[in-house]
Every structure is written in structure tokens, then in C-alpha cells.
């Protein structure tokens, strides 16, 4: 029997804790090995180079060693262990079956995105999470229909449920990240279109509506925040109202939707500029 979502969450927490403990242990072990192995009088850096030889010179591990301060041998062992843990997690994560073409997309294209999202979930909390997710997002962005599938996952719940099954919530979360990455690379149209489409769908719903409460309001907030993250606070401080209107904002929106934009704006501007200026900029952009 497949694990329940609660059991699956327990598995993720347990393996995340394991890899954290492992990382600390490997760091201590590597440091101890370096100290004990170098001949008397040999500097630690020289001993490290002699022990590892030229194979680790100018490699990604060396670059990561310089960034993190963790010795390359420890990073290599940690990477191997993280890969093993990610594989264990992947086997526990549901793998919804894709039955034929879905939402106008060929089966193989949907399965590719689904597979990438499952792998993103599998590395959650691991030390190499960022690197692995960037790699997987790059695969989606390079695929002919990857961005379109990510967009549709956010704007068509029927498609999302059919394509991603019980992983539909995770699919929406990772789809926002895919669109944000595309925007950061100069293609913000998918992010802008998805935000507009979603706010139009939600504008007819009350704050108590089931669809709004089931995460779609949060999806809108995350999409707006993703756009703000890409353009930055300095850009927003000198922008006009058309920037926010491009994201689907209008003074006539229901109060609970206007609050989404207000919260997303003020939170970032307050951190960057302080309360008084954040209030002034937010009021200017949202028209009071």
C-alpha cells in the first residue's frame, strides 16, 4: 500500500534530519583526517593538495569547497549520500499515471514535467537542493512545452488534477518557480499571463469560496511575489501603476484580492525602505 501523505511527510522529515547529521559528521571527519594525515611541518593546504592530487583541482567540488568551507572529500561523500537519500524519497513519492494526452499536451511532455517535479520534491531540504532544482528547472525550460505546462498547471485546475494527481499542490508550487526562473532570464510573459488569468478566475469568488481557500489565493500571492522578486524593490520604487496593472491589478478588484497585491508589495518595500516610504510607494502603485 502506498504511504499516506502524512506518512510521506514523516519520511521526508526523517531523511532530511539524517542528511543534516551526516553533513556535520562528514565535515568533522574530513577535518580530522586532514589534521592527522599531514606530515609534521607541512601546511594544511599543502597536505590537502598532496592527499587529493590533481584530480580535484579546479573542479566543481573545489569551487564548492571554496564557497562552503567544507573539504572536497567530505562534499563528495555528502553528495553520494544525498543522492541515495533522494532516491529513497523518490520511491516513496506518489507517481501519478498519465493516461494519454492531457490538456492538449502529449503524454511524454506531461510525464517529463511530472518527473522533474517529483525529483524536486525528493531533494527537499538536502544540502544540494538548490543546485538540483536549478538543473531540473533548466530541463523544463529547454523542453518545447515545459513553460506552457507549468502555466496551465496554475490556471486550469482540471488539467492540474488530471496531469499531476495527488501531486497537484506541489505541481502548482514548482510551476511558479519555473515561471519565475523564466522571467529572471528575460521571458516574463508566461508569469504575467498566468497571474492575469488566475486573478480573473478568482475575481468572481468570495474570500470564503472553497477554490480561493484551497491554495489558489496563495498561488496568486506567490505569483505576484515572484514578479516582484525578479524586478526588485528599486524598480518598484520608481515604477508607475501600469506595472501592477500589467499583473492583473485593478482598483475595482474585490478587497480580498486587492489585499494580495498590497501585502506582497508592502512586505518587500518595508524591508528595503522602511515603513513610511513603503506605505507611500504602495499607495502610489495601488492608487490609494
Query: Do you know the residue count of the chain?
Result: 288
CB 219 within 8 A of CB 180: no
Contact by Cβ (8 Å): 166, 5: yes
Farthest CA pair distance, the chain: 76
pLDDT for res 53: 44
Report yes or no: 219 and 194 within 8 Å, Cβ to Cβ.
Answer: no
Does residue 26 have a pLDDT over 50? no
Strand partners, 102: 105
Query: How many whole angstroms from its chain centre is CA 180?
Result: 9
| d(C-alpha 162, C-alpha 144), whole Å | 20
Angle at 119 between CA 117 and CA 94, to 5 degrees: 75
Least confident of 28-32, 65-69, 222-226: 28-32
Chain-centre distance for alpha carbon 115: 15
What span, in angstroms and rounded, lies between the C-alpha atoms of 272 and 115?
38
Q: Sign of the CA dihedral 240, 244, 245, 246?
A: positive
pLDDT band at 36 (very low <50, low <70, confident <90, very high): very low
Q: Can you read off the three cell numbers belonging to residue 55?
A: 584530480
| CB of 129 closer than 8 Å to CB of 160 | no
Rounded to whole angstroms, how far apart are CA atoms 278 and 283? 8
pLDDT, one tens digit per residue, over 51-101 is 444 444 557 778 778 878 888 888 889 889 999 999 999 999 999 999 999
- DSSP conformation letters of 151-194: HHHHH-HHHHHHHHGGGHHHHHHHHHHHHHHHHHTT--HHHHHH
| CA pair distance 283, 177, nearest whole angstrom | 28
Residue 126 CB burial class (10 angstroms; 0-12, 13-18, ≥19):
buried
Q: Give percent above pLDDT 90 in the chain.
A: 67
pLDDT of 19 strictly over 50: no
DSSP string for residues in 85-124 = HHHHHHHHS------S-BTTB-HHHHHHHHHHHHHHHHTT
**Residue 43 reports pLDDT greater than 70:** no
Q: Cell numbers for 195, please give them.
A: 497571474
DSSP state of 54: G
The whole-chain average pLDDT of the chain stands at: 84
Q: In the beta sheet, which residues pair with residue 265?
A: none
Can you tell me the mean pLDDT for 168-189?
A: 98
pLDDT band at 255 (very low <50, low <70, confident <90, very high): very high
Phi–psi pair at 75, nearest 5 degrees: -65, -40
Q: With contact defined as beta carbons under 8 Å apart, do 44 and 35 qualify? A: yes
Q: What is the pTM of this model?
A: 0.78
Amino acid at each position: 500500500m502506498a504511504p499516506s501523505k502524512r506518512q510521506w511527510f514523516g519520511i521526508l522529515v526523517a531523511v532530511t534530519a539524517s542528511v543534516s547529521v551526516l553533513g556535520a559528521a562528514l565535515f568533522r571527519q574530513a577535518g580530522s583526517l586532514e589534521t592527522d594525515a599531514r606530515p609534521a611541518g607541512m601546511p594544511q593546504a599543502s597536505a590537502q593538495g598532496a592527499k587529493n592530487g590533481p584530480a580535484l583541482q579546479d573542479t566543481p567540488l573545489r569551487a564548492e569547497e571554496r564557497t562552503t568551507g567544507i573539504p572536497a572529500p567530505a562534499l563528495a561523500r555528502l553528495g553520494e549520500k544525498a543522492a541515495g537519500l533522494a532516491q529513497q524519497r523518490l520511491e516513496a513519492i506518489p507517481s501519478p499515471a498519465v493516461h494519454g494526452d492531457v490538456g492538449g499536451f502529449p503524454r511524454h511532455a506531461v510525464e517529463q514535467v511530472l518527473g522533474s517535479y517529483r525529483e524536486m520534491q525528493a531533494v527537499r531540504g538536502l544540502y544540494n537542493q538548490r543546485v538540483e532544482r536549478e538543473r531540473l528547472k533548466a530541463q523544463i525550460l529547454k523542453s518545447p512545452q515545459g513553460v506552457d505546462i507549468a502555466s496551465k498547471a496554475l490556471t486550469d485546475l482540471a488539467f492540474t488534477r488530471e496531469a499531476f494527481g495527488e501531486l497537484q499542490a506541489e505541481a502548482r508550487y514548482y510551476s511558479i518557480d519555473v515561471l519565475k526562473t523564466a522571467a529572471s532570464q528575460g521571458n516574463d510573459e508566461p508569469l504575467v499571463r498566468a497571474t492575469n488569468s488566475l486573478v480573473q478566475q478568482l475575481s468572481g469568488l468570495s474570500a470564503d469560496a472553497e477554490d480561493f481557500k484551497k491554495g489558489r489565493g496563495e498561488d496568486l500571492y506567490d505569483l505576484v511575489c515572484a514578479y516582484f522578486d525578479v524586478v526588485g524593490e528599486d524598480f518598484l520604487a520608481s515604477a508607475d501603476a501600469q506595472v501592477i496593472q500589467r499583473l492583473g491589478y485593478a482598483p475595482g478588484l474585490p478587497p480580498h484580492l486587492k489585499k494580495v497585491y498590497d501585502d506582497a508589495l508592502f512586505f518587500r518595500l518595508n524591508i528595503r525602505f522602511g515603513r513610511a516610504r513603503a506605505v507611500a510607494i504602495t499607495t502610489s502603485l495601488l492608487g490609494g
